[in-house]
Amino acid sequence: MLATAITVSAALGAGYAGVHYYLRPRESVDSSNDGAWHNGGDGQTPENAHASRLLSDLQRSIHTAPMRQQLAVARQLVDEGIAGTPSYDELGVTVQPVAGEAFDALWVTAESSRPQARLLYLHGGAFALGSATSHRLLIATLAKQAGVAVLAVNYRLMPEHKRTDGIVDCQKAYLWMLENGPNGVSPATHAFVGGDSAGGNLSLMLIAWLRDNGHRQVDRAVAICPNTDATGVSPSLVDNRATDQMLGRGFVGRFVKLPPTLARATIFAVTRLRPDDPLLSPVFGNLADLPPTLIQASDTEMLLDDARRWFTKAKRQGTDARLELYGGMMHVWHMFAHVLPEGVVATDRIAAFIAEAIDD
């Protein structure tokens, strides 16, 4: 009996060690603020306190629902928007569903939108929630201020679909957007991609995939508070958990408490990809020869080092990468731009970054 127990323990130990060795990150990527722009704020404002209360109210409504219903409740409440989020109609834009394609999306345009200048927008939500509706304030603002037609994609979400299904949707939508606009079939003169959080991850994945597969590259890319590393080694995942109200109190905050090997094994089991595969973790890919890319992040959020590490490596490999850091903001504070001045500033800077490429 003792011999059997010892044998089983040894086998489990060897198996765990093997999983740890196989799934460990194969590359170390450091981070730097060198060359980053900082807004100079610290988040200690009445407006930020108000935004924090709105987020707390939303989180309370989700967490008080029965466990089995929390994802559905979260999806519904996020789509409804943070208290006071204007509707598309109130934002003064036109919305057209895309019909008959292998992906679900909306065209969002304003009077100032140039139909041949197109932005693929990929929403955030931990790959499990969010939509073109939940992110309407940011999407509509970019359509108006950058002067682009925005193709907002409702890529397939987990757990109903595989993680790679969402990747495929984004790839297909971009290639389709190159030849189709809000007014029908016509080539794009300018093409952009942008996204936040999970959508930032997908945006950075996409530009590397376009380069590697010989497709037309975007003119510029934007990643807001992107997740760039699924292996969980970014120091800020732990260091900023207490200061990240959005991610620290949710699934991400709980997930990073798992032993790293168990967390990586879970990701591998769900995706069938190594956590450091560039399709999941863009920071581990080749970051040379990519388009000008703007990264924005908060200096108190858990994904800070995901953003800084991608920026640092991309700069070192010769890509025109730009990092903007905002003091004391919550993750994707742009969603609160109807009450938060820093959300307006950040969105304005993104719009200017995109419009600059059109006007050149």
Q: Which residues carry out catalysis?
A: 197, 301, 331
How far, in Å, CA of 139 to CA of 142, rounded?
A: 5
Helix, strand, coil shares of the chain, percent, nearest 5, are: 45, 15, 40
Residue 231 is given by DSSP the state T
- Closest among 322, 280, 291, 294 to 224, alpha carbons compared: 294
> Torsion-angle region of residue 35: left (phi > 0), alpha (psi -120 to 50) or beta?
left
- Closest among 123, 16, 35 to 316, alpha carbons compared: 35
Sequence letter at residue 207 = I
Q: What angle do CA 144, 45, 63 make, to 5 degrees?
A: 80
Residue linked to tokens 């260091």? 239
Residue 14, helix vs strand vs coil = helix
Residue 54, helix vs strand vs coil = helix
With beta carbons less than 8 A apart as the criterion, state whether 319 and 287 touch: yes
With beta carbons less than 8 A apart as the criterion, state whether 330 and 244 touch: yes
Q: How far is CA 76 from CA 79, 87, 88, 131, in A?
A: 5, 15, 17, 10
Sequence letter at residue 350 = I
Q: How many residues are present in the chain?
A: 360
